[in-house]
């Protein structure tokens, strides 16, 4: 039987500035909640559709530069690109790409406090 992936089950990020990163993702609309399981580490997490998203404290380090080997970026579908981009700017996120229209919708790219590029994506209205 050939292996197949049907969904993204989890996206976990690590940061040495938990407060700033949680503030950023919360500002753009990610509904993070404080969690701790048994004697495990305190972290923030939520469910985004079928995907578990979590932010954990990690050691110091920088995210790889955008579009270089080892880098990746998460894309979040938002109800309002204008509102999400404004919220990102309010927490001092760097805008990498201003809102741009594509056949599949509008998107902007911003950097989170660790320098990870994050896509904010708004689908076009359904006809």
All structural domains of the chain, each given as residue ranges with its CATH number in brackets, are: 10-58+72-122 (3.10.180.10)
pLDDT single digits (tens) 8-40: 999 999 999 999 999 999 999 999 999 999 998
pLDDT at 68: 84
pLDDT in tens, 54-78: 999 998 877 788 888 888 889 999 9
Rounded to an integer, the average pLDDT of 82-109 is 96
Per-residue H/E/C for the chain: CCCCCCCCCEEEEEECCHHHHHHHHHHCCCCCEEECCCCCCCEEEEEECCEEEEEEECCCCCCCCCCCCCCCCEEEECCCHHHHHHHHHHCCCEEEEEEEEECCEEEEEEECCCCCEEEEEECCCCC
- Please report the pLDDT score of residue 102 as a whole number: 93
């Amino acid at each position: 039987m050939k292996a197949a992936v049907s969904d993204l089950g989890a996206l976990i990020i690590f940061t040495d500035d938990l407060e700033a990163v949680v503030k950023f993702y919360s500002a753009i609309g990610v509904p993070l909640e404080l969690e701790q399981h048994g004697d495990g580490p305190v972290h923030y997490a939520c469910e985004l559709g079928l995907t578990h998203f979590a932010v954990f404290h990690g050691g110091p380090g920088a995210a790889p530069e955008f579009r270089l080997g080892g880098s990746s970026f998460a894309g979040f579908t938002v109800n309002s690109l204008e509102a999400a981009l404004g919220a990102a700017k309010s927490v001092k996120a760097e805008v990498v790409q201003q809102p741009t229209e594509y056949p599949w919708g509008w998107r902007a790219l911003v950097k989170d406090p660790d320098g990870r590029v994050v896509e904010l994506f708004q689908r076009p209205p359904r006809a």
